[in-house]
Structure 1
């Protein structure tokens, strides 16, 4: 299982959303449509191309703090281990140790949802749109994070260090840092997002095969991946 699929499973378990891949550094927006391939949404376009519009509104804020099992995080100021980072201008570091490959350290202190308010109406319009395919999935909600840090391991027993002054690293943990941080590691990280802002997760719907009503796609269960049905694939020929 690749890094993208692993990260998607993290978001399914924690927020019941699909991964926006690559996380943060993407341009996903409400109304994007595409397919799910190996558990990850692949954008093909936007429903505006079909003349379909919608009303958007912001939802409540949440946060995501996730550490894979076997992950150890320690903080150092001037070489000494500390429980919390002080607000001082002294060299410091955050050391992240992963015991297994494809492990994740995820900090998204502020996640804001933007959602379609009229999903059923959008679905009805798409049913009538010429050229619309049943296999298409539509983004009806995005979860955008501020100051996100996401690091993953390619190999087991990997260690990484975020280095800066203590006050900067303290802001990083609050989701408010803006640069001045370096990442070093004994092995290359599979994913490196340091204090960046952008879309982390997506919620999707599709049109039901027989009724044409909207079907909200839930998070995948362990070991399951969404594939197009035979009828959906036939719809594409």
Structure 2
């Protein structure tokens, strides 16, 4: 499994959101896109491309810190070793296995769309919106001091060096002092470091927009198997919700949502 797919699966399990990939990608509430290889790929923004105004608002603090290692542990677990010395300290984080990664972020907050249902109702009236195909970013999970390192082949590692108090602060709060030095060994090609002054999005929650009175799964099946036909459905007051929220907590891979039109990639 690729790092991107394993990363988004991990965020779904522990934060109930999907991954922003690659890390540090500029994503906003109101962006829309499709899935490629089980990972969300941004195409554009609702206001720019469809003229639908969107407003975002704070959604509260999700966690004071989030640290996760691909060995399956919150924090760095047995993959990390902190060595203290008179001249300073060193925190070593192993990336020994294939598709290994770790992520750390401090002060993880949620930014969300205002009135997503109203946005969905506006888009539902348009003839050029592809129902149940595009996914809309409804929430962003944003934090400071983002640190992400990954190795596809494994047998790699990362060392953080600095004062003992600085490395302990990183382990406890996820905050990176500017004096901390970071070095990698082995095949560690994925390296992303954020800033304490600027928030970076690591995760997102998505929804789709469906036609009036049509069950999302029935409509998707009709599109998949009868692409040349027109689906006409009567309004059903019990099934008249324009929003189809993507479940963030199930165990199924997101490649089931992969879009077949490679021209969008």
| TM-score normalised by the chain length of structure 2 | 0.73
State the secondary structure of the residue aligned to 1:9. Answer: helix
1:228 CA displacement: 5.3
Runs of 4+ in 1 over 6 A off after TM superposition: none
Distance in 2 of aligned mates of 1:229 and 1:29: 21
Match of 1:215 among 238, 244, 256: 244
Do 2:35 and 2:41's aligned partners in 1 also have CA atoms closer than 8 Å? yes
1:107 aligned onto 2:104: yes
1:156 aligned onto 2:163: no
1:67 CA displacement: 2.3
1:226 aligned onto 2:256: yes
State the secondary structure of the residue aligned to 2:62. Answer: strand
1:142 aligned onto 2:144: no
Aligned to 1:8: 8
Residues 79-117 of structure 1: per-residue CA shift (max 9 Å, x gap)? 7xxxxxxxxxx4221111234221232222321001113
Of the structure 1 ranges 168-177 and 118-127, higher mean CA displacement relative to structure 2 is found in 168-177
State the secondary structure of the residue aligned to 1:225. Answer: helix
Q: Which has the higher helix share?
A: 2
Distance in 1 of aligned mates of 2:258 and 2:70: 30
Aligned to 2:35: 36
- The number of residues matched between the two structures is 221
Query: Cα 1:28–1:115, aligned 2, differ >3 Å: closer, same or farther?
Result: same
| TM-score normalised by the chain length of structure 1 | 0.81
Residues 25-78 of structure 1: per-residue CA shift (max 9 Å, x gap)? 121001001111112111111111322123422122123222232752111122
Q: Which has the higher strand share?
A: 1
Of the structure 1 ranges 167-176 and 104-113, higher mean CA displacement relative to structure 2 is found in 167-176
Do 1:176 and 1:195's aligned partners in 2 also have CA atoms closer than 8 Å? no
Do 1:177 and 1:195's aligned partners in 2 also have CA atoms closer than 8 Å? no
Aligned to 1:206: 208
Query: Cα 1:195–1:48, aligned 2, differ >3 Å: closer, same or farther?
Result: closer
Query: Cα 1:168–1:101, aligned 2, differ >3 Å: closer, same or farther?
Result: same
Match runs of 1:28-177 below 5 Å: 28-49=27-48, 50-63=50-63, 64-69=66-71, 71-78=78-85, 90-134=87-131, 135-173=133-171, 174-177=173-176
Structure 2 unaligned segments of length 5 or more: list them.
73-77, 215-239
Residues 196-228 of structure 1: per-residue CA shift (max 9 Å, x gap)? 340000111111253672101123524452325
Structure 1 unaligned segments of length 5 or more: list them.
80-89
State the secondary structure of the residue aligned to 2:7. Answer: helix
